Structure 1
């Protein structure tokens, strides 16, 4: 993302997502900044911080300070503190056999970001992906708490596969993903076929492949998208099958139009993810 304001929004949304994934409400945030003072204009930093503050306020939280250092490479993020009632705390270890899985945002942000860097993504695609990454998981978190769920996590750097494997391992269950049901940015497939895959995708595949069983009929570009590291991705939610359609409908009515039921939790094989 070239626009510093948008960069700040996305970084803030990504940091806030950890609290939302646990069913919490963000209360305070602190800026964490590394900035190349000698090689980059200070107006860039001001725009980044403005984008971050706007997202913090949208989340209903407060910026209470921060820390900055001079560095050769620009870095920005937040340290976020939130609150949740102990009995309503959501983790990635409570998925139960028979549950359905819902994903709230489309995949492919890492691949498309790589295409943007290569100047191969058009303005419309770039804007749509940036808007998705800058969107808070606030409403999705509120709705999942309203409906009642068993487990959740946000899909970020380890990709859909990595975060699903973690949920399966921590919950001592298996997971089946139905590849045709997973929401993706349509442009991601073409870019993946051209080899525009970030390094993190290959690291995710190398690390998590032993825990994944992928049907031979699943296209290689789809596999790439599932291993693709996401920035400020959606929530992956595990809940009782009787509640799944109701939550999906509520999410879509709330403007989370890409929300979809993408899989189910099984008893076996424990700690493994099957992709069909």
Structure 2
């Protein structure tokens, strides 16, 4: 008798962007890594913790290059492939670029997962890339202990329209395009505590492409963009604060929340990555008195394929809100601001 197919999540020690190395550990690793020699055509490299590298091709084009992969956070192989591909393409959109093609990165426990299940993962990734209008033009695969899937993603943008996480200015309004709570919902799924509506909301959010990116790059009032993923809203806001040398203020109750995430957080559901994230921020993130632990958990919650965090001048804020909501992001909210001060995050 053929043995039953194991659940994808049973083969992975972590899942989604919660697999990311903690930000403080990553900084320590990179601090010991020799810096590359300067290259005149390298517009954005590894020095700013940005979402992708950018290489100037000519006066009118720059190549955006990134890679992202992780282990499954859900058991459906097709949806796992969709989520991983959406997440990888997000970094291209966050730089203001339009994707042009991708390469698949595949690590699967051959012999433990069937060829049919592995094929469904790849089909899911291909479906997302087709929706984005780009091919998967090749890739690389290995036999690994845990299932891993992701993409190398490449895109094009005008060199003068590259969006980074370091261009925010005091006075800017911060807009977040997606609801938070992905990590809490995925943790509840693994615990068997996530209902059908919560699961549907989880899939809908993590498979929505961050397509406003190229349109945002054409708006002069938009000064900085990053996507919110494994380090949580506060972690990626901190990267933005450090990049621009100013203080980012976040309004604790301003973001939208995925259905059920608040109730689950109040019931104590959280990810280990949320705890790790909070520890990694050090003294550079402060909470106003009275903010509950469950609210902090949501603000540090690792987001797989999360939304775009946009720093925009006040006069352009409504234009950005109209743009993103018109492109299918009804959960977009004004979540804070950039003010003068040292590079830190203050939650009010």
**Same fold judged by TM-score > 0.5?**
yes
Deviates more, 1:202-211 or 1:164-173: 202-211
Q: Can you list the C-alpha shifts for 1:25-82, whole angstroms capped at 9, x where unaligned? A: 1111111011111111111111111110111111121211011111121110001111
Question: Greater relative contact order (Cα 8 A, min sep 6): structure 1 or 2?
Answer: 1
Query: In structure 1, how many angstroms separate the alpha carbons of the residues matched to 2:305 and 2:208?
Result: 8
Partner of 1:239: 312
1:223 deviates by 0.8
Query: In structure 1, how many angstroms separate the alpha carbons of the residues matched to 2:306 and 2:168?
Result: 20
Partner of 1:67: 140
In structure 2, stretches of 5+ residues that fail to align are 1-73
Give runs of aligned pairs for residues 193-208 of structure 1, distance below 5 A: 193-208=266-281
1:134 deviates by 0.5
Query: In structure 1, how many angstroms separate the alpha carbons of the residues matched to 2:235 and 2:156?
Result: 26
Q: Can you list the C-alpha shifts for 1:72-129, whole angstroms capped at 9, x where unaligned? A: 2111000111111110001000000000000000111011100000000101111111
Partner of 1:272: 344
Query: In structure 1, how many angstroms separate the alpha carbons of the residues matched to 2:90 and 2:97?
Result: 10
Query: In structure 1, how many angstroms separate the alpha carbons of the residues matched to 2:206 and 2:286?
Result: 29
1:103 to 143, 161, 176: 176
Give runs of aligned pairs for residues 1-276 of structure 1, distance below 5 A: 1-138=74-211, 140-148=212-220, 149-268=222-341, 270-276=342-348
Query: In structure 1, how many angstroms separate the alpha carbons of the residues matched to 2:322 and 2:278?
Result: 32
**TM-score normalised per structure 2:** 0.77
1:195 deviates by 2.5
Query: In structure 2, how many angstroms separate the alpha carbons of the residues matched to 1:214 and 1:171?
Result: 21
**Contact 1:36/1:73 (8 A) holds in 2:** yes
Query: In structure 2, how many angstroms separate the alpha carbons of the residues matched to 1:197 and 1:218?
Result: 16
In structure 1, stretches of 5+ residues that fail to align are none
Size of the aligned set, in residue pairs, is: 274
**Contact 2:105/2:141 (8 A) holds in 1:** yes
Match of 2:186, SS state, is: helix
**Contact 1:99/1:238 (8 A) holds in 2:** yes
1:146 deviates by 3.7
Query: In structure 2, how many angstroms separate the alpha carbons of the residues matched to 1:134 and 1:236?
Result: 17
Query: In structure 2, how many angstroms separate the alpha carbons of the residues matched to 1:186 and 1:75?
Result: 28
1:219 deviates by 2.2
Query: In structure 1, how many angstroms separate the alpha carbons of the residues matched to 2:135 and 2:256?
Result: 33
Query: In structure 1, how many angstroms separate the alpha carbons of the residues matched to 2:328 and 2:88?
Result: 21
Query: In structure 1, how many angstroms separate the alpha carbons of the residues matched to 2:192 and 2:282?
Result: 30
Query: In structure 1, how many angstroms separate the alpha carbons of the residues matched to 2:347 and 2:165?
Result: 19
**Contact 2:162/2:217 (8 A) holds in 1:** no
**Contact 2:225/2:311 (8 A) holds in 1:** yes
Query: In structure 1, how many angstroms separate the alpha carbons of the residues matched to 2:293 and 2:145?
Result: 37
**Contact 1:143/1:251 (8 A) holds in 2:** no
Query: In structure 1, how many angstroms separate the alpha carbons of the residues matched to 2:347 and 2:259?
Result: 19
**TM-score normalised per structure 1:** 0.96
Match of 1:132, SS state, is: helix
Query: In structure 2, how many angstroms separate the alpha carbons of the residues matched to 1:55 and 1:151?
Result: 26
